[in-house]
Structure 1
Amino acid sequence: MSALQQCYVIKDAPGKGMGMFATRDIKRGECILSEKPLVFASRNLIKTQRAIDAMTELDKKAFFALHNVHSDVPTAIGIVRTNALPLGADAVDCAVYKVMSRVNHTCAPNVHHTWNPKTKKEYLHAIEDIATGSEILTSYLEPFLVREDRMKFLRKNFKFECRCSLCAAPSPEYDSTVNRIKIYSDLIMTCASTNPKKSIQFVREVLVLLDKIGGEGKTPFYYDGYQISAMYGDYTLAQEWANLLLESYIMDEGEEGEKYERYLKYSKNPRSHERAGCAPRQILS
């Protein structure tokens, strides 16, 4: 567990069980916590159960103190399903934590959690300023889901009705914006090989739309802008995107993030991308 624990406390969160709360003002981009797992888990239930059985008594005590909403399966497996975080965005395997697993959900989070396979730790970074006394909240969801899909996923997997600011009442405008983001996201790389200027336009459109729904989630789109610009040899534009990419990534995941060194390299030398110059040169700006 990180030495930065003085910025939060784990205490009762009315209607939610336990939760994490800020004990001082926390700045955007600040690392709130880095933590090694209590136990790793996978879809192989026998392997997972063996990993739980092998924990120390102290770790077992912390593990079995976590909430369990899945009463239809063995207690240990229910705790895993309730509290585990994936080991990366598309990972099948996951892990359970003594502290990190106490962070509650909202569809409008003020923190971002990421797994770093090099350090084998989960990191929690503030993605906005958090005032003293505020609850520190993450999202259990993949990005860009409309309200109906968010609520359906949370009911099925976590057995609760989300009452956050985005779910308390229907928001057709928010859902429409999310759907447009998904459409443009698909078009960015689809158009990259035939109409890179249009791809860059779609990137810019997505960034404008993201600002309408809170402004988070820009890092992968800065990467798209950088990669396309570098591919077509527009290194002036690639430099602009690379600088934005690095700045955004540091705010999301910090300098301890898995991709920090790679994005720093791009910022120092926009020609360093492995696909730089692979397409006929075009000025895309």
Structure 2
Amino acid sequence: MAVPAWTEQAIPGKDVGLLAARPIRRGERIMARTAAIMIDGAAVDGLPVAAFAGLLHDAAKSLPEPHRAQFFNLSTSYGVDDYDSGENDAYKIFATNAFRTGIADGLPDLHSVFRDVSRINHGCQPNCAYFFDPVTLAHNIFAVVDIMQGEELTVGYIDPIQTHAERKAKVHRHWGFNCTCARCAQPPRLVAESDDRVRSILSLLGTLDDYTTAAGSNGTGPAAAELLVLLFELEGLQGRIHEAEYRLALEWNGVGDGLRATQAARRCLDRGLLVRGAEQPFISNMRILVADPTSHWSWKFRLGKKENDKTDEKKGK
């Protein structure tokens, strides 16, 4: 019989969490769970808290055992946001543990609570990532790095591309805890260095996403995208590194280097499929580039029309 990948345990300062019960390799699917409770975002946004909390309580109480007991055993610790007096235990569990899950672009958001998935604690350098599969209605958790036996499983509750102070304020405001992950617990000089890398990442994302500038101007081109990949790696953002590889693929293709563009696109697909699933637009975009870099919209887009014309003349086109 296969050894389970995780075990549920009390963790000092964190209530309950999940620990690796055995070594877990990068790319392994740790779990796939359907929701205990799934609610249309229109109800979450449109109903008064007291009315919504009452409906939620009735729905949760109607769950079969042991499903009901597992739901009501989830943490109800949330932060300093003000809540209406109509809240109850089911509402507090929902406010603490719900994920935003969508069926498809253009359709209403869903807010879902998952039993085992909701036990995974936060980390600013998470070793796991998740995506919601709209076909199976399951939340899939994958390891984005190799995980040692006994190591805590973590996911990101917030966007990790923020400074230490911004991350700390956000998790405390909404969930009421001070993050003690390895990234946040660094000495001040290393926190300052991390914050500097974060600011560089945000700056590079802004310049690389401007497709109107020529390569090398205003911080664009393959060298800038290579730096972006390095900064993601140094920050331990393995669950998001496909975003950097995506931009690197476009930059290499933008200067007419189809081979290096294809290599970066392959890496983007390898990581992106793991943490985002197959239905994302950037996945289709990278597959088109891999199939034929020269027919992709990004081919030589950084060279400008004059440079394209010169290159074609040299090739006798």
| Shared fold per TM-score greater than 0.5 | yes
SS at match of 1:6: coil
Partner of 2:139: 122
Instruction: Decide which of 248, 253, 258 is 2:279's aligned counterpart.
Output: 258
**Secondary structure at 1:60 match in 2:** helix
Residue number among 212, 221, 244 corresponding to 1:193 in the alignment: 212
Which residue number in structure 2 is paired with residue 224 of structure 1?
Answer: 247
TM-score, reference length from structure 2: 0.76
1:34 and 1:271, CA in 2 relative to 1: closer, same or farther beyond 3 A?
same
Q: How far does the alpha carbon of each residue in 1:3-24 deviate from its partner, in whole angstroms, 9 at most, with x for none?
A: 9881111122222121111111
Deviating more after overlay: 267-276 vs 127-136: 267-276
| Corresponding residue to 1:50 among 50, 55, 64 | 55
CA deviation vs aligned residue, 1:230-264 (integer Å, no higher than 9, x gap): 567653333222222122224545xx543497367
Secondary structure of the corresponding residue to residue 125 of structure 1: strand
Q: Is 1:34 matched up with 2:56?
A: no
Query: Max radius of gyration: which structure?
Result: 2
Q: Once structures 1 and 2 are overlaid, which stretch shifts more, 234-243 or 40-49?
A: 40-49
In structure 2, what is the equivalent of residue 182 of structure 1?
202
For 2:200 and 2:2, locate their aligned partners in 1 and report how far apart those are by CA, in whole Å: 39
Name the SS of the counterpart of 2:32 in structure 1: strand
**Match for residue 68 of structure 1?**
76
Q: Which amino acid aligns with 2:37?
A: V
What are structure 2's unaligned runs of at least 5 residues? 312-317
Q: Distance in 2 between matches of 1:69 and 1:104?
A: 12
Deviates more, 1:51-60 or 1:272-281: 272-281
- Aligned-residue CA RMSD in angstroms? 3.1
Q: CA deviation at 1:208?
A: 1.7
Same amino acid, percent of matched pairs: 22
* The 10-residue stretch of structure 1 (112-121 or 95-104) with the greater mean CA deviation from structure 2: 112-121
Asked if the contact 1:118–1:258 (Cα under 8 Å) also holds between the matched residues in 2, the reply is no
What is the correspondence of 1:139-150 to structure 2 with a 5 Å cutoff? 139-150=156-167
Taking structure 1 as the reference length, the TM-score comes to: 0.83
Task: Return 5+ residue gaps in structure 1 as ranges.
Answer: none
Counting matched residue pairs gives 277
1:108/1:266 Cα in 2 relative to 1: closer, same or farther (>3 Å)? same
SS in 2 for 1:57: coil
- Provide the rounded CA distance (Å) in 2 between the counterparts of 1:200 and 1:248: 20
